[in-house]
Structure 1
Amino acid sequence: MTPQRPTSRRYAALDVVRGSAILGTLGTNIWIFTDVEGLVGYLNGTGRATGAWAPVQAVLQQFAQGKFLGLLTLMFGIGLVIQQRSARCQGLRWPGGYPWRAGLLMVDGVLHFLLFTEFDVLTGYALTGLIVAFILTTGVRAQRVWAVGAVTVHLAMLALVAAAVASAPAREPRPLSPNPYADGSFRDLVAFRIDNMVLFRLEVVFILPLSIALFLVGAHLFEARILESDRGALRRRLMVVGLGVALPLDFTLGLLGGDAGLLLGRYGTAPLVAVGLLAAIAHRYADGREPGAAGRALSNVGRMALSCYVLQNILCSTVCYGWGFGLAARSDGATVVPGTLVLFGVVSATLILVSRLWLGWFDRGPLEWLTHRAYERLARAHGDRVTAPAVSSTP
């Protein structure tokens, strides 16, 4: 790892968006960590707040539900097309050695899934990135056909699942016994993830068409120069659709639509909100302004997105699960919301501080550095020319 040195121009908006997406995914996932039954309890609704905290929890969960995951997915698509541009500028073929990058991300995701979190997104991004890398070798018209086809498949699947959930009879969820999240060791929880791998990885399969579409949308928006100052009309249209139309509909579905409404919001309207968020942040920095204090904090997290994503889940696992400090088991309906908010604040502040200190000495995060070094060795060992790191590329 080398000391930090001057680099070429970065798009300020991309780092801020990426940092916002990382902290936003924390805002989604932290409710899973603080549920006494982990992901199983979160899906069953066993960790709900009581009294005056119940509506607060519902609104906070809906605020983050699916939107920042969609934003992160868009950013991966933008990062992919930036890497493609970098390869072309160096006269390299595409996708060239990119499959090695995707393979390394898959390894990261599998280890992350087994050791810390069963709702890992890295494996899904590795698979999606590999597919989209080859789609990007086709023409613009073919890419649009792929995007429309992926959206069509996703909406059909979503409609079927939502209809099945809406028509299913209500049932009382059974407690998780034994409960490895609260009572098990680190090894017990790893074994639990392995035993339930098919169940825990279903979402990755279900959202694959949506992920492909969002990768391509992100790539298309970058190619459409959404970050440039003269594209204000495009950004305003996207903000109207995403924040003016989709956001109120998303809250209505999520808060009033029951389980089917939650599904329709998370996988239907939330991606549109994500596009609006991307446009809004891009609009703020399109005139070339430098980020303020909050923007700089988010930018540092964004530049270390992979490291910060893994670190936030390590910290939350350690604090919440029984093999660590067992916070989740000590919470109840009256304390789960304030406890979760405090934990979110502490972990967010830790990510901001760590990223600032680290980037004061190095030009990339530790996992980013390790992954790039491994990619260099693999590519060269197999005769591929190595693509120089692209500015503001894949998180």
Structure 2
Amino acid sequence: MTTATTVRSAHPPDARTRIGALDVARGIAILGTLATNIWLFSHPGGMLGYLTHPTSPGAPAVQQGVERVLMALANGKFLGLLTLMFGIGLLIQAESAARRGRRWPGGYPVRMGLLFAEGLLHFLLIAEFDVLMGYAVTGAIVAVLVVRTPRVRRVWAVLAGALHLLIVTALTVLLLSVGNAPGGAMPGEAVYRDGSWWDLVVLRLDHAVLFRAEPVFIGFLSVTMFLLGAELHRRGIFEERARPLRVRLMVAGAFALVLDLALAWLVPEAVFICRYVLAQVVAIGLLALIATVVRGGGGRLGGVLAPVGRMALSCYILQNLVCSALFHGWGLGLNSVDPGARLWVTACAYLAVCTAMVLVSRWWLGRFSRGPVEWAWHASYRVLVR
């Protein structure tokens, strides 16, 4: 029987330090996901074009090589970090419920329902690669598992991870057998360049199965990463006692990064292994690195990135909206620049949007306690559970 008393925190009362580090990690995860997604925005064929030929069609070979490296550096790593953050946040809420003597999961499924609704709106109106809907479903499942016994949690994490590896292996073998050569243009690519905002909404509806495939595909992986994030929190990943653990994780992450980049360059057919296996190990190492570097409020790093982490949902949605306005045809149409200029336009836009997110989040939190999306989420939750 699961009650609030079954959830206990093994951490000493240093929540201030821990939360500061978590905000920095969330901020890095949010801005890091943009390092992957911005290549989808800047592609003249949008996500559909990116799936068939991610680098700039018609650009010099050297430029395409640089783009491949930049894409590989970000691909999947920050998505994995963000997934770990969701798992940690879930356990923090469970521990908070236990301290207050409340039953768990209590109203948490309602929160996940609101997150799913936010993700659905984000998917339809802004970006077809939304992750919030998948996180909402995973959160509702893991909320029940996170307060079970260590053995039950371990079995679920290993089983889900094994199923994920089995699927990835099968898909990789299939790609190796049929090849991974870039295909022709996919129907709908021109909409990103020439269509209106409403045309993009219709395009997402028309290709909903394709666009929503990744959250379904990584369902088992998300369960494992949520549980792993919660376990790392239990083991005090941001505390001094976890120093030996952090060192081991950083070594594993560095080794996985080298292997990931080598495979991405030499074996394009290993795309699933790179994004959905090795990148997740890199993400765990990155979390350990952040926990090692960040102390207290995070110093200057915390002052820059913690506000983004504190209003992560708002910044995630806002940065995608800004990029859509910059690149898509209904906005400035920067996805139509000469192929030889795409690398520089993309890089400059990324730096500009990240700077804007930092400045906007600091300005907003200097005046309000929550980000606008977080405020709407909290207000809606209070109405629904009243």
Q: Confirm or deny a common fold (TM above 0.5).
A: yes
C-alpha displacement of 1:173 = 2.2
Kindly provide the CA deviation profile for residues 167-202 of structure 1, in whole angstroms up to 9, marking residues without a partner as x: 115655222455111111111110110011011111
Percent identical among aligned pairs is: 49
Partner residue of 1:181? 192
Residue type of the partner of 1:57?
A: E
Partner residue of 2:131? 121
Residue type of the partner of 2:144?
A: F
- TM-score, normalisation: structure 2: 0.93
Alignment pair present for 1:147 and 2:157: yes
Q: Aligned to 1:336, which of 309, 331, 342?
A: 342
Q: Aligned to 1:353, which of 345, 349, 359?
A: 359
Alignment pair present for 1:191 and 2:202: yes
Partner residue of 2:49? 41
Alignment pair present for 1:56 and 2:69: no
C-alpha displacement of 1:291 = 2.2
Residue type of the partner of 1:103?
A: G
Partner secondary structure for residue 364 of structure 1: coil
Residue type of the partner of 2:364?
A: W
Alignment pair present for 1:269 and 2:275: no
Q: Which runs of 5+ in 2 are unaligned?
A: 1-14
Partner residue of 2:11? none
Partner secondary structure for residue 52 of structure 1: helix
CA distance in 2 between counterparts of 1:30 and 1:170 reads: 23
CA distance in 2 between counterparts of 1:170 and 1:66 reads: 19
Kindly provide the CA deviation profile for residues 280-322 of structure 1, in whole angstroms up to 9, marking residues without a partner as x: 110123xx44423333111110011000000000000011111
2:35–2:74: 8 Å Cα contact kept in structure 1?
Answer: yes
Partner residue of 2:25? 17
Cα 1:46–1:67 change in 2 (3 A) is closer
Partner secondary structure for residue 324 of structure 1: coil
CA distance in 2 between counterparts of 1:252 and 1:356 reads: 38
Partner residue of 1:167? 177
C-alpha displacement of 1:224 = 0.8
Cα 1:170–1:162 change in 2 (3 A) is closer
Alignment pair present for 1:94 and 2:101: no
Residue type of the partner of 2:168?
A: L
Structure with more of its chain in helix, by fraction: 2
Partner residue of 1:253? 263
Partner residue of 1:322? 329
Q: Aligned to 1:242, which of 253, 262, 270?
A: 253
CA distance in 1 between counterparts of 2:148 and 2:155 reads: 11
1:41–1:47: 8 Å Cα contact kept in structure 2?
Answer: no
Alignment pair present for 1:281 and 2:290: yes
Partner secondary structure for residue 11 of structure 1: helix
Cα 1:172–1:252 change in 2 (3 A) is closer
1:37–1:46: 8 Å Cα contact kept in structure 2?
Answer: no
2:307–2:358: 8 Å Cα contact kept in structure 1?
Answer: yes
Residue type of the partner of 2:135?
A: Y
CA distance in 1 between counterparts of 2:313 and 2:219 reads: 20
CA distance in 1 between counterparts of 2:313 and 2:88 reads: 15
Residue type of the partner of 2:30?
A: I
CA distance in 2 between counterparts of 1:81 and 1:247 reads: 28
CA distance in 2 between counterparts of 1:172 and 1:343 reads: 26
> How big is the alpha-carbon RMSD for the aligned residues of Structure 1 and Structure 2?
1.5
Partner secondary structure for residue 129 of structure 2: coil
2:76–2:279: 8 Å Cα contact kept in structure 1?
Answer: yes
Partner residue of 1:300? 307
Give the 4+ runs in structure 1 shifted more than 2 A. Answer: 7-11, 46-52, 169-178, 288-295
1:51–1:334: 8 Å Cα contact kept in structure 2?
Answer: no
Q: Which runs of 5+ in 1 are unaligned?
A: 1-6, 381-395
Alignment pair present for 1:223 and 2:240: no
2:75–2:279: 8 Å Cα contact kept in structure 1?
Answer: yes
CA distance in 1 between counterparts of 2:297 and 2:98 reads: 29
1:23–1:348: 8 Å Cα contact kept in structure 2?
Answer: yes
